[in-house]
């Protein structure tokens, strides 16, 4: 029987007195890989391509190959488990900074901040002894019901790519390999282990692959995780087209492909179709598809030694580029004040002001004697939930704590729970009484990880626990009510018109309560923008309007094609509750002087959009200027407009800045499946710039004088 923990086997001479090339960090990378590969026995090679614990692969003491530790997740380093169970390991050194969830990070529209988060999580991963971090998740938010939508970076491939590239570059700067996931078209939790996704090639390339492409080609990500679902009849973790043809051959990916946990189903298919590391299969480790069955097939000549060597090379390459063999590998640090500050800044910049009638916000504590804080989410922690993205933080500041810390010394703050999962009429009655007796109400509601959770999709967009009715009664009792939604997208249609002020806070991490209080009382000017469309009702969303979700007879056909998110709402002229890119401020911004400067430069640079943005108010504030492109007479269908650039800028009161957004030829192109390339057609294009997808302030036109095709 093949062993999964490799110790000294006596096959080669001891390394004592030997100075192998692979341990010399001054040698070329591939030479080090070649040298170590030549020293491995067949059993030792096999030990490198499958797990020997829930999140680890075997140590090789003979050759000094260290044990590798993998860990979730996208908003911090997960609590330790196992090694052979999903139960917590009960360690006392596995606390981590709980960052806001990725949907909140995406709402910042700040790639530089994404980079800083990546650095912070990378530092904590190294301090915790982790080698590969299973993030970021760049699947597109196709349906608002998706149970993992809080882990996504929104509905748009361009925004997702920009945020992911920053995150990966930051994390990998700390001698940790990022693992971009889940490759590919893994956009729902319902039947995720078996659902077969059918999507045409153009849609695949324009909507669902760009963020993965950017991760590989721009961020140089070192690991890619295959998805649970099937794509065109073949499981993604053993999908020849996705892994061999696109990822490794077309894109030239040199890192390793890891399975999702229990995502491998066949030794022959996984061996042939591009998998390099099998994790989490729900059987004994020595019986993994890449363990004893693979070893037996290699001994019989059923499988290729050359393919095994390629898999081993890829595993070793990731170990070398993250300096796993080098004595000066970065040691990291965790739970530092800087990390907590980054968590707070992401929460601050990710909170979105959706409504502010009569300038109710920001609240001035000098003019308020009493505040009623209402809602279960005012005290409920979120970080230790959601599935694989759960974090064990030292602390988590609740909204109530944040409010008390800011104004508790000068305002009488009362708390009423208002609702629970099992509705309680007495709770509601007490909340309404508290609302009547206070000057201002701050309602903290929305969802929690009972609803937003890995492994399940939500049934609908309704608020749970009778919140729709409760909010209406509270506003009737006290018109000065600020509603704060935590979680992901919900149907607000029954009460949104009655509420004067509305904030979306997502799952804001361990500093979330402080960040929210900063926004509520004006120490922070909100600057978040929606990374996804909020529909008025579920049936306005494309996958549901067309009856495509949750699939039929085990197959999901992406009937909406290119029209995901705002592309659908714009092209079909459907009014959303709140549009993609939307977010208000406590100040106002003016756009002017759009010029298109023709350029021919590196990386296909074609034109630069140059324009001015001015802060017209008396508060410092940040604005996200968004650039969309519309082709006027395309030869094939194209969405009404598509995001192709954005810039976040901070402006002092009355300050004006000139902004430049470079555009390459690829920004104007669509994918032609027959030509197997990107086509930028000879045509006129409208460049529109504004504060959201539905708030365009300035426009200009550009004409491409010739058609070009880029492979």
Active-site residues, by number, are: 260
Helices (H), 580-701: none
List the one residue out of 483, 485, 521, 525 whose CA is nearest residue 402: 521
Tell which residue, 607, 564, 569, 611, has the closest CA to residue 590: 611
Dist. CA 446–CA 487, nearest whole Å: 6
360 conformational bin, left if phi > 0, alpha if psi -120 to 50, beta if neither: alpha
CB distance 239 to 207 below 8 Å:
no
Query: Which residues are within 8 A (CB) of 522 and not within 5 positions of it... i.e. 6 or more apart?
Result: 361, 362, 363, 364, 586, 619
Strand ranges (E), 4-74: 56-57, 68-71
CA dihedral 671, 677, 683, 684 (to 10 degrees): 50
Q: Residue 252's closest CA among 284, 283, 221, 297? A: 221
State residue 566 phi and psi, 5-degree precision: -60, -25
Q: What are phi and psi of 579, to 5 degrees?
A: -85, 160
Q: How far apart are CA 377 and CA 444, in angstroms?
A: 5
* Spatial separation of the C-alpha atoms in residues 584 and 529, rounded to whole Å: 8
Cα radius of gyration rounded to whole Å, the chain: 26
Pairing of strands 440-446, 370-374: parallel
Cα separation, 44 vs 60, in Å, equals 8
Contact 81, 88 (CB under 8 A): yes
Tell me whether residue 262 is exposed, middle or buried, using C-beta atoms within 10 angstroms of its C-beta: 0 to 12, 13 to 18, 19 or more: middle
Please answer whether residues 487 and 448 qualify as being in contact, where contact means their C-beta atoms are separated by less than 8 angstroms.
yes
């Amino acid at each position: 029987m093949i062993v999964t923990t490799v110790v000294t086997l006596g096959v080669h001479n001891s390394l004592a007195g030997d100075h192998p090339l692979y341990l010399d960090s001054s040698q070329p990378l591939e030479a080090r890989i070649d040298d170590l590969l030549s020293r491995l026995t067949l059993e030792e090679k096999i030990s490198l391509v499958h797990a020997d614990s829930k999140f680890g692969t075997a140590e090789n003491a003979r050759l000094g190959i260290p044990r590798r530790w993998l860990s979730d997740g996208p908003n911090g380093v997960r609590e330790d488990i196992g090694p052979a169970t999903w139960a917590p390991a009960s360690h006392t050194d596995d606390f981590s900074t709980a960052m806001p969830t990725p949907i909140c990070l995406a709402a910042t529209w700040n790639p530089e901040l994404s980079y800083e988060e990546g650095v912070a999580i990378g530092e904590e991963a190294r301090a915790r002894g982790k080698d590969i971090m299973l993030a970021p998740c760049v699947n597109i938010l196709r349906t608002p019901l998706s149970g993992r939508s809080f882990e996504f970076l929104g509905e748009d491939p361009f925004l997702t790519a920009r945020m992911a590239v920053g995150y990966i570059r930051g994390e990998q700067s700390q001698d940790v390999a990022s693992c971009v996931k889940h490759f590919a078209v893994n956009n729902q939790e319902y039947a995720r282990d078996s659902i077969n996704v059918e999507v045409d090639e153009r849609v695949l390339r324009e909507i669902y692959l760009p963020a993965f492409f950017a991760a590989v080609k721009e961020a140089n990500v070192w690991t890619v995780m295959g998805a649970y679902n099937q794509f065109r009849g073949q499981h993604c973790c053993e999908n020849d087209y996705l892994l061999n043809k696109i990822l490794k051959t077309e894109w030239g990916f040199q890192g390793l492909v890891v399975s999702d946990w229990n995502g491998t189903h066949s030794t022959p298919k996984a061996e042939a179709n591009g998998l390099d590391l099998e994790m989490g299969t729900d059987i004994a480790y020595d019986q993994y598809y890449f363990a004893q069955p693979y070893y037996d097939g290699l001994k019989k000549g059923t499988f290729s030694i050359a393919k095994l060597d390629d898999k081993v090379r890829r595993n070793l390459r990731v170990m070398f580029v993250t300096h796993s063999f080098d004595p000066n590998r970065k040691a990291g640090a965790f739970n530092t004040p800087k990390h907590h500050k980054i968590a707070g800044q992401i929460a601050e910049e990710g909170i979105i002001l959706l409504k502010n009638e009569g300038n109710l916000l920001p609240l001035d504590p000098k003019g308020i004697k009493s505040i009623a804080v209402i809602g279960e989410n005012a005290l409920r922690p979120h970080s230790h939930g959601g599935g694989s993205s759960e974090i064990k933080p030292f602390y988590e500041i609740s909204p109530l704590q944040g409010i008390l810390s800011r104004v508790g010394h000068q305002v009488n703050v009362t708390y009423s729970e208002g609702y629970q999962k099992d509705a309680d009429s007495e709770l509601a009655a007490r909340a309404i009484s508290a609302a009547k007796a206070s000057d201002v109400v701050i309602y903290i509601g929305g969802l929690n990880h009972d609803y937003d959770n890995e492994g399940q999709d939500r049934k609908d967009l309704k608020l749970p626990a009778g919140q729709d009715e409760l909010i209406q009664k509270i506003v009737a009792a006290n018109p000065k009510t600020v509603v704060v939604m935590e979680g992901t997208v919900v149907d607000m249609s029954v009460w949104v018109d009655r509420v004067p002020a509305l904030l979306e806070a997502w799952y804001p991490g361990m500093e979330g309560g402080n960040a929210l209080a900063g926004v509520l009382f004006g120490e922070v000017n909100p600057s978040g923008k929606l990374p996804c469309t909020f529909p008025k009702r579920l049936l306005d969303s494309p996958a549901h309007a067309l009856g495509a979700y949750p699939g039929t007879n085990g197959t999901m056909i992406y009937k909406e094609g290119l029209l995901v998110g705002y592309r659908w709402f714009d092209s079909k002229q459907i009014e959303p509750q709140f549009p993609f890119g939307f977010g208000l401020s406590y100040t106002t911004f003016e756009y002017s002087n759009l010029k298109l400067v023709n350029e021919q430069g590196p990386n296909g640079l074609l034109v630069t959009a140059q324009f001015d943005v001015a802060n017209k108010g008396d508060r410092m504030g940040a604005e996200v200027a968004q650039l969309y492109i519309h082709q006027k007479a395309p030869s094939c269908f194209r969405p009404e407009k598509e995001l192709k650039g954005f810039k976040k800028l901070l402006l002092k009161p009355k300050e004006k800045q000139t902004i430049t957004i470079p555009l390459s030829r690829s920004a104007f192109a669509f994918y032609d499946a027959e030509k197997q390339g990107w086509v930028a057609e000879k045509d006129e294009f409208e460049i529109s710039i504004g504060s959201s997808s539905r708030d365009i302030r300035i426009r200009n036109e550009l004409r491409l004088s010739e058609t070009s095709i880029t492979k």
